[in-house]
Amino acid sequence: MRAVVVGASGGIGGALVEALALRGEVTGLTRADLDLTDPASITSAAARIDRPLDLVIVATGSLGAPEKALRDLDATRLADQFAVNAIGPALVAQAFLPKLRTDRRTGFAVLSARVGSIADNRLGGWHAYRASKAALNQLVRTMAIEHARRCPLGVCVALHPGTVDTGLSAPFQRGVRELFTPAVAAGHLLTVLDGLQPADTGGFFAWDGSAIAF
């Protein structure tokens, strides 16, 4: 098995690299290798992969200080969230999906978030993060349809890892019922991916394998 993890310097990304190394060959890409806001660096990183892949996981994301109300919305922050959470992963897909094998089941997954679900939004707030993750989910859905024409056995999905004990979630862990270590979260995600079939492509799934409404 050959895999690539984008965001290998993060908590979940690093744990995914360690877990996948037990299954075969894994390449972990960090900010030094690939800048999500620099299309040329994404293209360059993909060009260095010279053998077909079985799995690509984009384990990146940005949250910062989420807005509590519409009055807190800032154009620059909104653009930054879309650049990292939606546009960057979409460009990774553009560069790396063609690297996946076509002769057997393969996977492409991005880390999304339940708060990106429009159907599940009952509290409001967090405008930029919610919107950027909702955009990411739509991009995954759209690219999955196209990818299936080239790779009928491929699975292209968005995954919600739950709340994981990393720097991104640190300010928001109070009151969380289930807080996972990165290693546990990585195990959950790989178990979900192992169980998905081509018919599931384009879907949005939680860490326990349950489908999340867009």
The C-alpha atoms of residue 69 and residue 84 are separated, in whole angstroms, by 22
Q: What is the pTM of this model?
A: 0.94
| Per-residue model confidence (pLDDT) at position 174 | 64
The secondary element (H helix, E strand) that includes residue 185 is helix 182-195
The set of residues, in sequence order, having a beta carbon less than 8 Å from that of 47 and lying 6+ positions away, is none
| Per-residue model confidence (pLDDT) at position 179 | 81
Query: For residue 45, which phi and psi values (nearest 5 degrees)?
Result: -65, -40
**Coil vs helix vs strand at 211:** strand
- Label each residue of 63-75 as H, E or C: CCCCCCCHHHCCH
| Per-residue model confidence (pLDDT) at position 24 | 96
Q: Locate 10 and state its tokens.
A: 């993060």
What's the CATH class of domain 2-206?
alpha beta
Q: How far is CA 13 from the centre of its chain?
A: 10
Q: What are the boundaries of each domain within the chain? A: 2-206
| Per-residue model confidence (pLDDT) at position 171 | 62
Averages of pLDDT over runs of 10 residues in the chain (214 residues) are 96 97 97 96 96 97 89 95 97 98 96 95 94 98 97 97 78 70 96 97 97 96
Q: Locate 63 and state its tokens.
A: 């949250």
| Per-residue model confidence (pLDDT) at position 167 | 66
| Per-residue model confidence (pLDDT) at position 172 | 64
Residue 116 is given by DSSP the state G
CA 179 vs CA 166, 170, 182, 185, 198: distances in Å: 10, 10, 10, 9, 30
The C-alpha atoms of residue 2 and residue 177 are separated, in whole angstroms, by 35
| Per-residue model confidence (pLDDT) at position 177 | 74
